[in-house]
Structure 1
Amino acid sequence: MAIDTGDYVNDINIQEAVIHVLDQNADTPILNEYMLDLSDDTYNFLYRHIEKCLKDEELKFAVFNTERNIVKEVVQDYLNGISSDLIGMSKELSNQLFGIMKGNITIQSCDLIVVSIVTDQGPMVGLLKMDYVKNFTHQVDFVDNKIGIGIIPQAAGLPGNGQKIQKAVFIKPVREGQAYDLMVLDKIKAKEEEYGANYFNNNFLGCSILTSPRDATKTFMKATESWTRSNIVEDAAKAEAIRTRVKEKLENQDDINIEELSHELFQSDSEEKESFINYLNGHGIAEEIKIDKSYVEKKLKRVRLKIDKDIDLYINSEAYKDNTRFEIQKNGDGSINMVIKHINNYMEK
């Protein structure tokens, strides 16, 4: 069963949640015995982070591996009604993650929030690894009957609404024939790369990442742009023609065949055809990819042009395609003119 854009979560309702403290400097995790009070502020705080995670471009679909895994077992017991104890389940998950953390000093201390949610894709259990961020607050002291106010750091602050979580997972009830079991956000920080960078997916969750249409579309767009930058350096007209044709394909077709696209772009130039195809294959792009139209619409809504290293131009897609407002003129020598027309107003920023 294939993954499609309808598998992404759009509606979220938080049922219950619990938080535990996983501090690298401690010998054991600090495990909560009570549910979080989902006041308006707490509910909104959790909701915004969950929503951000589920809309993050780096969110991946995955399936559990066949090997025995604690996360899979305890979460499935909860989702299937064998156990209704969210606190007990979350304690087991916290102990499991903490054990992995103590074996890898590069893993950042955190609070682990475990939530039970209902979505338009069915019930899920979410795990949010809330890495600590350094915040600052004031401190008021009385010195010789005088007030002294200073600023002190708080090393164990939680990510605010404007900050993004690096690692999270949303787990579905496992059913035979379904496209995926879980949705994983696993951003790897530079200091994690040397030692067990994939601990969250491999050691903790025990899952394998799947390629979704959004992943394939994102990779395709980055790879075609990267190839064009590297191979079409002194011919702006040709580079513009390639970029325009690729955008037309992305906007107007549901699928793109790499062989056919290569033929359209390079016609009889077999060397460039082969180079283009090999480059995309090297980035995991198969012979044909399914296009995620919502991702394309979002990414092509605005065009950012870096011109000869010293000019930046931002323009929305509608104006870019309107020849009465913006036009690209070919000079016949590989160079082009970009003409902005009929300007009634402008501002300096």
Structure 2
Amino acid sequence: MDKIRDISIIEAVLHVLDTGADEPILNSYMMELTEERYKFILSHIERVLKDENLKYASFKAKNTIVKEVGQDYLNGRIDLNIASKEIVKGLFEIMKDNESISSCDLLVVSFNTEYGPMLGILKMDYVKQYTHQIDIVDSNVGIGLIPITTGLSASKKVQKAAFIRPIRDDQEYDLLVFDKKPVIDTDGINYFLDNFLGCSLIENDRDATRHFMNRVELWTRSNCKDEAVKAERIRTSVKRILRNNEDINIYDIAEQVILPYEPEVKKDFIAYFQECNLEKFQVDKEYLEKKLSNLKIKVSSDIELSITADAYADINNFEIKDNGDGSITMMIKYIENYVEK
């Protein structure tokens, strides 16, 4: 996946979509990009682009408002205000037909990257906040709290976003999509991907690497209960193989991870990943290193450990000892000082 790091915001506009109203509130003016607003928008864009749930996608053959209007804007045929209003109207119609979709502000932003221009659409859900309410009765002051649900937060993560590129021949993808909490109806339709954007997701190296690591953990938990030695060997071996290889083949991994005298286990291991469509893939090294840089180990409901990959591999800091009965002992060594958090 393209790692977008160079972002330069050009212009932005904000509209209000309240499902309790008959129409969206459409902004007539571009946002004045003060330093504070610029940083607010940039922080949300960067956070989404770095999230492991960001996906490649391509537009379907059928045109949607987002596809048509997005391309009209990116190719200089209309301005951002006109484009954003059409996008908002399209989303609002979908929202009015689906009670499970929350009201929001829709931020539409144009920005340049090292890979060319993009049109960003960020659904900014409201944050429930509280403010004080002052009542004065017979010279007596009473102060209470009342909820407000129209605030936007710099810290709250965006749940849905799309970053659209100009469509060109032979390009790998048309847009990047982020849908943290999909809303899917009884017919299996995802309103954001299917109805609003009209796109199909594309599997990439990062997705395959993430899915493989998650599936290894699930298989290990299921097949190595009360066998901590075996589980530790499998987890450590898989990490080593991922770090040392660009291309992954599940048959080669099975040969290295599963012991020779366990042919049935090897067969089950291979079959499991065949069902997951993870027989072969390329490792996303950047995602892998980020994922492995800090390990979180849950020993029991009462004990959890967070440790860096370097410390885990350093025998002077941390050691795992085989107790000879299938269990292990984890040792944190040579502690000169510690603090409580």
TM-fit CA distance, 1:347: 2.6
TM-fit CA distance, 1:203: 0.5
Hey, what does 1:262 align to over in structure 2?
A: 254
Hey, what does 1:333 align to over in structure 2?
A: 325
Hey, what does 1:62 align to over in structure 2?
A: 57
| Residue type of the alignment partner of 2:332 | I
Alpha-carbon contact 2:184-2:191 (below 8 Å) kept = no
Equivalent pairs: percent with the same residue? 53
- Structure 1 residues 168-317: aligned runs within 5 Å: 168-188=161-181, 192-195=183-186, 198-268=190-260, 269-285=262-278, 287-317=279-309
- Residue 35 of structure 1 pairs with residue 35 of structure 2: no
The CA distance in 2 between the partners of 1:252 and 1:115, in whole Å, is 40
The verdict on how the C-alpha distance between 1:309 and 1:151 changes in structure 2, with shifts beyond 3 A counting, is closer
| Residue type of the alignment partner of 1:26 | A
Structure 1 residues 125-134 or 305-314, which shifts more?
305-314
Alpha-carbon contact 1:188-1:197 (below 8 Å) kept = no
The CA distance in 1 between the partners of 2:101 and 2:59, in whole Å, is 23
The CA distance in 2 between the partners of 1:146 and 1:47, in whole Å, is 46
Alpha-carbon contact 2:108-2:122 (below 8 Å) kept = yes
- Residue 73 of structure 1 pairs with residue 68 of structure 2: yes
Alignment partner for residue 160 of structure 2, among 154, 163, 167? 167
The verdict on how the C-alpha distance between 1:318 and 1:326 changes in structure 2, with shifts beyond 3 A counting, is same
Alignment partner for residue 14 of structure 1, among 9, 13, 19? 9
Hey, what does 2:100 align to over in structure 1?
A: 106
Q: List, as ranges, runs of 4+ consecutive aligned residues in structure 1 with deviation greater than 4 Å.
A: 193-197
Partner-residue secondary structure (3-state), 1:320: helix
Partner-residue secondary structure (3-state), 1:314: strand
The CA distance in 2 between the partners of 1:87 and 1:290, in whole Å, is 41
Alignment partner for residue 114 of structure 2, among 116, 120, 123? 120
The CA distance in 1 between the partners of 2:125 and 2:277, in whole Å, is 31
Hey, what does 2:89 align to over in structure 1?
A: 95
TM-fit CA distance, 1:308: 4.3
What is the count of residue pairs matched by the alignment? 339
The CA distance in 2 between the partners of 1:164 and 1:202, in whole Å, is 22
Alignment partner for residue 18 of structure 2, among 15, 23, 26? 23
Alpha-carbon contact 2:122-2:158 (below 8 Å) kept = yes
| Residue type of the alignment partner of 1:321 | A
Hey, what does 1:136 align to over in structure 2?
A: 130
Structure 1 residues 122-131 or 301-310, which shifts more?
301-310
The CA distance in 1 between the partners of 2:301 and 2:80, in whole Å, is 55
Alpha-carbon contact 2:162-2:178 (below 8 Å) kept = yes
Partner-residue secondary structure (3-state), 1:162: coil
Cα distance per residue 1:192-246 (max 9 Å; x no partner)? 4455661100000010001111111111110001100000112211111111100
Partner-residue secondary structure (3-state), 2:171: coil
Partner-residue secondary structure (3-state), 2:62: coil
| Residue type of the alignment partner of 2:299 | I
Unmatched 5+ stretches in structure 2: none
Cα distance per residue 1:282-313 (max 9 Å; x no partner)? 3332x211111111111111222222443222
TM-fit CA distance, 1:315: 1.6
The verdict on how the C-alpha distance between 1:310 and 1:154 changes in structure 2, with shifts beyond 3 A counting, is closer
The verdict on how the C-alpha distance between 1:327 and 1:67 changes in structure 2, with shifts beyond 3 A counting, is same
Query: Scaled by the length of structure 1, what TM-score is found?
Result: 0.92
The CA distance in 1 between the partners of 2:24 and 2:112, in whole Å, is 28
- Residue 53 of structure 1 pairs with residue 45 of structure 2: no
